[in-house]
Structure 1
Amino acid sequence: MDVILLERIAKLGQMGETVKVRDGFARNYLLPLGKALRANEANKKRFEAERATLEARNLERKSEAQQVAEKLDGKSFVIVRSAGETGQLYGSVAARDIVETLTENGFNIGRNQVELNTPIKAIGLHKVVLHLHSEVELAIEVNVARSADEAERQAKGESLTSADAIYGVDEDALKPEDFFDPDADLEGEEA
């Protein structure tokens, strides 16, 4: 199906372009959300009449998204979750959890604007990409930790999943002799 795009859509085209898309994509996504019109003569005339209004609205949305991006740029958000000693979470952190954390901090971001291909399943610092507008995207840092104290230590660069953090042992100081005696007579012993 041929459609006229009413806004820029990534990997598809710019506003005003007539593009060919699959029928289902047009019927189920582009047309119901008002992102496109069917490409016929009446809609082409309608688009040309409304073009200035659409471009102004798009520019306004883009500037709002850029303002939010400037406020979010360089920020780190802490999410506290239960986890085992190895750092594996007893659940996961999904896009919904990231949106809730951003909302608590005064940012109104939709769940569909968070690009998280797989849920976060381990403690640590994670980069998450936010698509605020079709032309504005940025990465924020999400600090997943077991407590606020651990989050501060992780932010400073300390690893909480190493042997040192878990058992209080310095990994660099460990030697093979610490685990077995190389001079032991193993041939005379029976298992």
Structure 2
Amino acid sequence: MKVIMIKKYQKYNVDEVVEVSDGFGTNFLIKNGYALPLNENNRKKLEIKKEQQKKEFEIKKNDALNLKTEIEKLILNFELKVTNDIIHGSISSKKISQALAEKGFKLEKHTIPHVLITSLGITKIKIKLFKDVEAELRVNVKGIYGK
């Protein structure tokens, strides 16, 4: 018996067509809502669902590529206090996230890696925007020299 999985169960993934024994398919998977029987109507629904997922994936990937080009044009500027060639403070990923939000870039928390910049100059940070799409953000840290 062939069934379409609608919930993950052990080694079977969602939207996967699997061959199982008649008893297991009917008495457990279908009865408990893990699967639907494979028939022409359910097969068409599965194909439509996969097409929609493919379109959504492409749209999200294109959005991520557009965001990548905008982020790579950007240079974030920060200032740290410097006395006697000793740098006081650091630039964290939280500060970088806040600066990006001020510029209009609303990114998920997990996209910016944990960084702690404690040196002056330009530092490049890889930001994961989507599967196989990474942007390189430039962060410029300048020193404010004082006594």
Superposed pair shares fold, TM > 0.5: yes
Is contact 2:8–2:14 with CA below 8 Å preserved after alignment?
no
Report the CA distance between 1:42 and its aligned residue.
Answer: 6.4
In the alignment, is residue 65 of structure 1 matched against residue 64 of structure 2?
yes
* Aligned match of 1:109: 107
Letter of the structure 2 residue corresponding to residue 54 of structure 1: Q
Structure 1 residues 76 and 85, CA gap change in structure 2 (3 angstroms):
farther
If the length of structure 2 is used for normalisation, what is the TM-score? 0.62
Report the CA distance between 1:61 and its aligned residue.
Answer: 0.8
Report the CA distance between 1:124 and its aligned residue.
Answer: 1.7
Structure 1 residues 41 and 97, CA gap change in structure 2 (3 angstroms):
closer
1:23-172 paired onto structure 2 within 5 Å? 37-38=8-9, 39-40=11-12, 43-45=15-17, 49=46, 50-88=49-87, 90-116=88-114, 118-147=115-144
Identity of aligned residues (%): 16
Larger Rg: 1
Deviations 1:64-95 (A, max 9, x none): 1111111122321102233333252x232111
After the TM superposition, which segments of 4 or more aligned residues of structure 1 sit over 6 Å from their partners? none
1:107 counterpart SS class: coil
Distance in 1 between the 2:63 and 2:14 partners?
32
Distance in 2 between the 1:126 and 1:57 partners?
34
Report the CA distance between 1:119 and its aligned residue.
Answer: 1.1
Distance in 1 between the 2:134 and 2:81 partners?
30
RMSD in angstroms over aligned alpha carbons?
2.8
Structure 1 residues 105 and 87, CA gap change in structure 2 (3 angstroms):
farther
Aligned length: 111
Q: Which runs of 5+ in 1 are unaligned?
A: 1-35, 151-165, 167-191
